[in-house]
Structure 1
Amino acid sequence: MDPGASPMTVSDATATDSAIPEESLANVGLASQRELVWRKFTEHALALASGVVIILIYLVGIFAEFVAPRSPDFYDSSYTMLAPQQLKFWRTGEDGSTEFGMHVNGFSSQRDPNTLRRVFTLDENVVVPVGLFVKGAPYRLWGLIPSDIHLIGPLDPSQPFYLLGSDRLGRDVLSRLVHGTRVSTSIGLVGVAVSLVLGVILGGISGYFGGWIDNFIQRVIEFIMSVPTIPLWMGLAAAIPVTWSPVLVYFIITMIISLIGWTSLAREVRGRFMSWRNEPFVIAARLDGTSQMTIIGRHLVPGFVSHIIASVTLAIPAMIIAETSLSFLGIGLRPPVVSWGVLLQEAQNIRSLAEAPWLLAPGVLVIITVLALNFLGDGLRDAADPYT
């Protein structure tokens, strides 16, 4: 303050406070931590948009049978390596007028005289009407609810409908991609859930108790992190019996990814607990007779929740990439299980890259999902940071 300035009087302070809207004053100190985090998160436009994308992707995975036009095992050898059909919304009526109507054009085929391959060309004269909530192949949603209604599909199920083309066996790439979304994204969630439990419990015990317990857990973490991943997976893939069911293989792959991915989170939790275990509120709880596990669960972990949420969000992409990479190399999930990595195996040859680039659609979806999850994690980390 300027020495020559007169001190502020009570009336001046009252006048200054009156200049602040009463609504703002009423909200000061009343917002919960959740509300403050949400307000900060909504200011991050890219993270908010990424959250919407992630929600849509997981909704597609949850309702895969309803969203997919066909079963992932459906094939038609008459339409192999078919290029994607363009979905059109307007068509010309018999009287020459333009009217609304979703449709795709059919194909005409002929043999290439040099390669003897069947070559498909779009036929503008063949119109395949398309509708929403149409009847198609019967299915059981989540294996429980019988239905035959699909989100989109041809009004005549026998007509060709391949919005993302077909593969070498005549299977619909879009339907297989939708069903693969459920497997790949669920592995990320389940794997992160198991890693979260192991990381928080073991990391918390290591950081809180210290001593020989800390040394033992840290040596285990260092051993796991030092094991080369690819040779480990190759050995595990050779050890998995071929007679195991796809569900059991899926479970084993998920567990192995989880057991490898918990180490980084455990070290982060350990560091935070080591810095907090001598804080006054922890000492007060200990002197009050609170048990050790209660101190960890009710006093230490809640203060670390915001960082855990951000870490989990950033760990899901790593789980998805791990499953995709291993399945792509043939040492992860295998057919008849449909995942993004299994689908990318179809693009492991020159013919696919040269003549059927639409088979790379799973890779594009992996990139979109991983980027969206990373942007979402960045937004959550910034919003949950108490120092901001």
Structure 2
Amino acid sequence: MKNLFLVLLLFVISSVGHTQNNDFPAGTKPASTNILGAEYPRVDSLGQVYFRIEAPEATSISVSLGNVPLTKGDDGVWTGVTKPQDPGFHYYTLKINGVDVADPYTETFFGASRIMSGMEIPEAGVDFYDIKNVPHGQVRSVYYWSKSFNEPRHAYVYTPPGYDKDLDKKYPVLYLQHGMGEDRRAWPNQGRTNFILDNLIAEGKAKPMIIVMEDGGIARAFNTPIRDKSGKILPKPERQGPGRRGGPGQGPNFWDEFTETIITDLIPTIDKQFRTLSDRENRAIAGLSLGGTQTYQISQANLDKFASIGVFSAPFGFPGVESGYNGLLAKPDEFNKQVKLFYVSMGSKEGPRSGRAIHETLDNAGINNVYYEAPGTAHEFQTWRKSLYGFAQLLFQKK
């Protein structure tokens, strides 16, 4: 019976198609995240998304984007339209006969610890992450060996335009971390990191830099194993919520092991394989959401390695003024001398703990910081694209 269900499900999914005709809803365009040649989904000027799926054998179809049930016509075509969506990038799935699947006519992305469809909603007047007619850098795939945990590792490394021309020139480096349920692909794919930097560099708004995007060990969320240095998997602790450790004897957080990997393995590899300025003044670290929590954790344990820090929408992990950064936050003059840039951001639709409350705490303690609040966005990549856009312009500048 189970095998029969799978056969029927595959038949339903294989029959999914988008009717290609010219009878399109007025004022709509194919989403930029569609695969080549697909006319649906379509987006209008209000940010509403129109779906049209041919699946005569299906008994129910809904779209997670806006939780919209589709309606089946007599011709076996399912249609529906969402309410206006916030501008930017959104994950979504189709639920066909109760099973979540990716939309076969949309590009897929790794998020929420699985492959999902992606939807891009344009924002009027915003083009800083678009592909423009400017010199482009490269996103390079770099494999290396982690001695810390005796395993292969993989990173994506952005090198700026002209990197391969002047072989004597060295560059500062930003280590940029993704969020929960994502991996090293998130920033170059969903975040459009390379295009943001290409455009900023072309406009003279940011210094050319190398950006390293690695897997912070949080892609599989709570299922990620915790290992010791020999590679042995440790007992899984009971979770007490992000940013908090388990009780006595329950072990560390599942994302802690990346701290050693980045310091012991990743930074030496990047400094060896790329032409970097390897002093702390020319090295920065930033991250979004749980990657921002990792940024707090890694930077305060290794302030001798990073002089610039960016935390985007991280409601957990702020160490507090009394003891943070080995007591330096309680000594603002000393902290301000050591840290060139402390950048905190969030979307205006997020709770204050994601950034605003932290910024106010830092201000009250006399800690120099730059705060940015993206208008009208939530815990999503439109917030983090804008955060990177602002952060990158301030990085590695002379005071």
| TM-score tier after normalising by the smaller chain length | under 0.3
The alignment's TM-score, normalised by the length of structure 1, stands at 0.25
Q: Larger relative contact order (C-alpha < 8 A, sep ≥ 6)?
A: 1
TM-score norm. by structure 2 comes to 0.25
Structure with a larger share of its residues in helix: 1
